[in-house]
Amino acid sequence: MAGKQDKIVLGNLDAKRDWGHARDYVEAMWMMLQADKPVDYVIATSKQYTVRQLVTLAFEFMGKTVTWRGSGISEEGIDENGKVICSVSEQYFRPTEVETLLGDATKAKTELGWVAKTSFKELILDMMRYDCENQGIEVNAKAEEIVKRQDEYS
């Protein structure tokens, strides 16, 4: 199956999400369980990125640069050769789309001392490595440099 798909098709590329790593959230849960009394906390990174940013970064981890053209349902991502590698379909739009999700983890930081340790780039690289290893594909050799680079994803 690896390498058989010509492009990915997604829904709303402008949706903003607070993307976080499960290992950070499990640590937060463990810290909550150590408390004397149960208290409600928001566990989040308190940073948000669009689906488009996630896709752009994922392709970069595979050694591809995506250029976006068009807008809305006509938007598509093309590679360096002009080949469409990502497109949008209304089929993947959620009927009750929430445009932006962003958590405020201030209470967890203040009361538990918890903060998310995994950056957005580290999260996406972890996911890419896992999926690629299962398909016999290698990520870009420069992936670690991409993670360390200061940019819009930092």
Burial of 92: CB neighbours in 10 Å, binned 0-12, 13-18, 19+: exposed
Query: Is 3 within a domain?
Result: no
Query: Is 153 within a domain?
Result: no
> For the chain, how many structural domains are there in total?
1
Residue 134 lies in domain:
8-148
Q: What percent of the chain has pLDDT over 90?
A: 82
- pLDDT tens digits along 65-114: 999 999 999 999 999 999 999 999 999 998 888 889 999 999 999 999 99
Query: Is 2 within a domain?
Result: no
Query: Is 154 within a domain?
Result: no
**In this model, does residue 1 exceed pLDDT 50?**
no
**How is residue 149 annotated by DSSP?**
S
Burial of 71: CB neighbours in 10 Å, binned 0-12, 13-18, 19+: exposed
The CB density around residue 17, as the number of other CB atoms within 10 Å, is 17
Q: The domain that contains 51 carries what CATH number?
A: 3.90.25.10
Query: Is 92 within a domain?
Result: yes
